[in-house]
Amino acid sequence: MQAQMLAPAAVLIAWSLIVLFWLAGTRIPAMAKAGIKANNTPPGGRGQNLDGVLPDDVQWKSHNYTHLMEQPTLFYAAVVIIALMGAEAGDVLAAWIYVGLRVIHSVWQTTVNRIPVRFSLFLLSTCALVYLAYRAVLLTFFANPGA
Q: Hey, what CATH topology would domain 2-141 get?
A: Four Helix Bundle (Hemerythrin (Met), subunit A) (1.20.120)
Rounded to whole angstroms, how far apart are CA atoms 128 and 145?
28
Do the Cβ atoms of 98 and 128 come closer than 8 Å?
A: yes
User: What is the average pLDDT value for the chain, to the nearest integer?
Assistant: 93
Confidence check: pLDDT of 63 > 80: yes
Rounded to whole angstroms, how far apart are CA atoms 9 and 23?
21
In the chain, the percentage of residues whose pLDDT exceeds 70 is: 92
Confidence check: pLDDT of 45 > 70: no
Which strand (E) or helix (H) includes residue 106? helix 89-111
Q: What is the pLDDT of residue 132?
A: 98
Domain ranges of the chain: 2-141
Sign of CA dihedral 19, 22, 24, 30: negative
Which strand (E) or helix (H) includes residue 68? helix 56-68
This prediction's pTM: 0.92
Q: What is the pLDDT of residue 94?
A: 98
- For residue 106, the tally of other CB atoms under 10 A from its CB is 24
Helix 72-85 with 2-33: angle, nearest 10 deg: 160
In the chain, the percentage of residues whose pLDDT exceeds 90 is: 80
